[in-house]
A and B are shown apart, each in its own frame.
Chain A
Amino acid sequence: MGKMERKFSVVGKGAHVKDAREKVTGSLKYAVDMKLQNMAYGKILRCPHPHAKIAKIDTSKAEALPGVLGVLTHEDVPQNDWESAWFNYRGKVLDGIGRFVGDDMAAVAAQTEQIAERALELIEVEYEILPHVLDMEEARKGDAPQIRCEGNERDPYEVKWGDVAKGESEADVTVECDISYESQQYAPLGRNACLAEWMGDKVTLWTSSQTPSELRDGVHEALGIPLSKIRVMALPCGSSFGQWWSNNFMIVTVLLAKKIRQAVKIELSNEECMGTVKRRHLERTRGKMGCTRDGEITVAEIDHIIDNGGYGFKDDVGFFCVDMWGKARNGHYAVHAINTNLLTAGCMRGVGDCTLGASVERLADRLAEKVGMDPVDFRIKNQIVAGDELRMQHSRDNMKGDRDAYIASIPPHLRKDWPELFHLSAGGTRAILEKGAEAFRWKQRWRGWATPNRIDGPKRHGVGVGTGAHVCGVEFEGSSSSMVRINPDGSAKVHCAVGRQGQGSETTQSQVAAEELGLSLDQIEIETGDTDSCPWNHGSLASSTMYRTGWATRAAANDARRQLLEIASREFFDGVDIDELEITDGEVHPKGEPRSNRRFTFAQVLNELRSETLGQTSSITGRPAVPMPPSTTFARQFGAQFAEVEVDIETGQIKLLDFVAVQDSGTVVNPQVLKNQVIGGAICGAGFAIYEHLVFDEETGAIKNANLLDYKLLRCADFPHQAQVLFEEAPDPVGPFGARGAGESPIAAGISAVAQAVHNATGVWVDMPMTPERVIRALAQAH
């Protein structure tokens, strides 16, 4: 893929984000900041048991408390299942059964939060205690208590290629692993709230969400009312990482407001945000990998289990690492997802990449160590490059057909310009590994496997490298759309239902539209939250915003541009082919002549139409004309990161000393936005690698550290401030101006880099998180 020839005027420029001034003045509104006249306050009654059924519930005392406006129980709730995006929740809003400690059981609305809290204590519940199971291995057994009607375990998700037995026989060296992962918590800074108000049979809800359209779908499924009667007004989120999509408490709010016929706001406490919504899965990998003496992987055999807690239903995590290490000649990966009576688990940033991906990286590292190869070289040798076949066969299974039948089912006129499906279309790890190794001075700093590059008393320094990959959005749940409207005064607005969780979507989508329309960034406005004005969009998840929504936004802008140029051609340019026209700085002019006297602003073009031909449209609405290609079958993003750590071998404490993060997300639309995303990923990954984990009560599964005192998040001085972010911009053939996705590969790469650096400093591999105590235990076991 050669360099992009076209020069951009808005894309690639380090524009300040559009909401920067609101952000630094504290005036940006999140859901917690919303209020309505005559609004009531809601609180949720939470299950005190890991598994229990309400035998009897008496709300009369609570209802009698002055200030209480109503109580919602499962008896008031339509018994429909609803699903969050990517099966992060499947179940009823309230069904009288608690499936983990902290589960939603009922809700109270009152004049104040304090009254609502007191009323919760007055609800008398008689629970029938059900047998429970916390351990995912136990939950797989035939006689285990069943948590869901679908059973605790469904069919595994599998990928197979080649012949594993042959791969094993070809291997000169093999390694095995059994690695367990603790559960990371989203630990959001900024709580969430939901405010719902009914007008007749229509409901509006204000909440912070990354997935406004999916939330509307969820309300529709749960209540059984038409989508047209539901309006989601999604607000920006505090840090989310996948936590705030469509969450059950939001639908509880909707039902509570309906019951009391008054607007209600439920604001979750910090403990509720951390202990009752969702979390990353507990996971365990048992695997085997083998390679030849010269470091060619011949076999990868992985059996991975994840726990979904009470309501998670996901089973397809982390196959992007399989793609990335897809040069392995033979492979078999299986993921088993199991329900337990723990807090629901769902997609947290880099789902699977951070766990299954880290296991694959560790197996590969141990092979590299055995054959004496540099980890950078070993990755370059075994990771795919553009044009290679992708191992992930999700599309095939999802489409219930074989690959060729799937391709044949797509009309040829749609796919004629598509990249080759099931093959990597652009990018890869080679360039980012080489660039990072040079910037980090890897060759000078790496002293060999399990060899510290500095020893200072009990302090050992080590360096490490890690890689991560992820899709760039997925098409299975629907094709994300976007709309661009040009108003009679020439101003333009993008309408796309994506999240604003700090990843800059409001800015980057505007940049895409501005570039395509020939406007400056400040001539574009954007609406991301209102499902009444935005077409359906998958939302900001699965690293899809830049790629799939950006594609739609560009297509919508292109459509609006075409319409505008057609009018301009007809009204001002004697009907020339629109390819003979161009737009620069918001003015239409003959191609190549931006200073021509014959140039007209958007407002002139649209007003000409309005004044002379009454009844014609006076504003333009652009939308994508065709669906985006199924990018799961060809597009990936890649991250490579290099880290230096210091390990105190007497205390087990780890310090992060240096970081270089290199990202391949295709064309960079906004460098500072992307740098922030990448470094944020590295920090979140490093935090997971060394501290972050939930502690569950052994008896009940209740979370013992749903607070920021004992759930440790990295702080400013915990991460090297000189960390560098570098880009490789292998342009994508489909993405907007060559851009791809970005958010999730950086978190995975950082985890493996830190883990390998600790190994090189100490000689031991430590399971994540590598807390001081675990490091000491691993060192003690090694001696």
Chain B
Amino acid sequence: MKSQMGDRAKFWAGGTDMVLLWQRGEIDLDHCIDLRHLGELDYISVEDDSISIGAMCSLSALERSADEHHLLATLSEITKLMCTPQTRTLATVGGNMCNASPAADLSPAFVAMDAEAIILGDAGERRVSMFEFFEGVNKTALRGNELLKEISIPLPVAGNIAAGYRRIDRTVVDIALVNASSALTVDASGKITKATVALGAVAPVIVRSEVAAVPLVGRSLDALDDAALAASGEAAAGDAKPISDVRASADYRRDMVKVMVRRSLADCIEQLKG
């Protein structure tokens, strides 16, 4: 169907962003393809090596999955920050990703967790890292009639992973003015084998700060002091390219990256130390 309609066609998942676009006259309902009957894409499953979240999984279902895995518990906490309870029942994880808002709460967490998008097309499935999935404001790696099927989060075979998320917001229901997520993987000895720091609302896409990992990787969890976390935050701020808008100034956003990265890392450490 999408291939018949071409570029004008839009997929409609939960529709919470799409209704807003339609009200503003930016999309045409005659060219929307309803995905809500795709019940087979509404799932969350935890395997030994990965967590799979179906694109049609609602935000409220993700919110309720906290007990199934500690990374899902992190995602559940993030979900609670998103829109309102009565919109989370409608909105889907896939829809939220495909809307590709740079301020979306789940996006930096998926990037920090090194998640992949599983994309369904005429030629079958392909995988793209969530970092590469976002190509711009409301722009994704989906081409032609491709469809986002699943977000797949890899789990370390040995050792452990933890993720943290922080954002600056105003009232308890808000869009992030700026946000950051980090994930730390440790081996059995407690040495950090991998660190990923992702930033939102500081560029048209989610920023993955490679330099922010430098003060962290290779060190033992116990050796990570405040200075190391602060160094990571400082480094991350250097990768941020924020703008000033109605919500916050560029300077404030850049400054807050430092604080949020530091705090999200502290959250990871706390989780890993249990």
Contact = CB atoms under 8 A, between A and B. Distances in A.
Does chain A touch chain B in the assembled complex, meaning CB atoms less than 8 Å apart? yes
Interface of A: 650-651, 653, 691, 695, 704-705, 709-710, 712-718, 771-773, 776
Nearest to B252: A773
Interface string B158-181: 000000000011111111010000
Contacts of B171: 691, 712-715, 718
A147 B170 CA distance: 36
A649 to B, nearest CB: 10
A710 B170 CA distance: 10
Given A691-B171, A718-B171, A772-B168, A710 B252 contact: no
Contact of B259 (A651, A691, A773): A651
Contacts of B175: 709
Nearest to B170: A712
Given A651-B259, A705-B246, A715 B173 contact: yes
A772 B256 CA distance: 10
A710 B247 contact: yes
A716 B173 CA distance: 10
Q: Which 9 A-B pairs have the closest CB atoms?
A: A773-B252, A717-B172, A712-B170, A650-B259, A695-B246, A704-B246, A712-B171, A718-B171, A715-B172
Contacts of A695: 246
B248 A773 contact: yes
A764 B256 CA distance: 20
Contacts of A716: 172
Interface residues of B, number: 17
A482 to B, nearest CB: 40
Nearest to B169: A653
Contacts of B169: 653
Contacts of B172: 715-718
B174 A712 contact: yes
Contact of B252 (A712, A717, A718, A776): A776
B246 A710 contact: yes
Nearest to A650: B259
B220 interface: no
B249 interface: yes
Interface string B228-262: 00000000000000000011110010011001000
A773 B255 CA distance: 10
Contacts of A772: 168, 170, 177, 252
A704 B246 CA distance: 7
Interface in B46-104: none
A713 B173 CA distance: 9
Contacts of B255: 776
A771 B171 CA distance: 11
5 contacts: A653-B170, A691-B170, A705-B246, A718-B172, A776-B255
A716 B172 CA distance: 9
B50 to A, nearest CB: 34
Interface of B: 168-175, 177, 246-249, 252, 255-256, 259
| A contact patch SS | loop
A712 B177 CA distance: 12
Nearest to B253: A773
A772 B171 CA distance: 11
A715 B175 CA distance: 14
B168 A653 contact: yes
A422 B171 CA distance: 43
Nearest to A655: B172
Contacts of A653: 168-170
Nearest to B25: A117
A716 B169 CA distance: 16
Most buried by A among B168, B171, B246, B255: B171
Given A704-B246, A712-B171, 14 more contacts: A651-B168, A651-B256, A651-B259, A653-B168, A705-B246, A709-B175, A715-B172, A715-B173, A716-B172, A717-B172, A718-B171, A772-B168, A773-B248, A776-B255
A715 B169 CA distance: 13
Nearest to A687: B171
Contacts of B174: 712
Contacts of A709: 175
Contacts of A717: 172
Nearest to A772: B168
Contacts of A776: 252, 255
A713 B174 CA distance: 10
Nearest to A709: B175
A718 B171 CA distance: 6
B236 to A, nearest CB: 15
Contacts of A715: 171-173
A444 B223 CA distance: 41
B207 to A, nearest CB: 19
A406 to B, nearest CB: 48
Contacts of B256: 651
Indicate the member of A651, A717, A771 with the most B CB atoms within 10 Å: A651
A287 B60 CA distance: 52
A776 B249 CA distance: 12
User: Which of B168, B170, B177 lies at the interface centre, i.e. has the most chain A CB atoms within 10 A of its CB?
Assistant: B170
A717 to B, nearest CB: 5
Nearest to B249: A773
A651 B247 CA distance: 14
Contacts of A712: 170-171, 174
Chain B CB within 10 Å, residue with most, of A650, A695, A704: A650
B257 to A, nearest CB: 11
A237 to B, nearest CB: 23
Nearest to A777: B252
B230 to A, nearest CB: 11
Nearest to A714: B171
Contacts of A714: 171
A189 to B, nearest CB: 14
Contacts of B247: 710
A256 B175 CA distance: 40
A704 B255 CA distance: 24
B215 to A, nearest CB: 19
Contacts of A691: 170-171
Contacts of A650: 259
Contacts of B249: 773
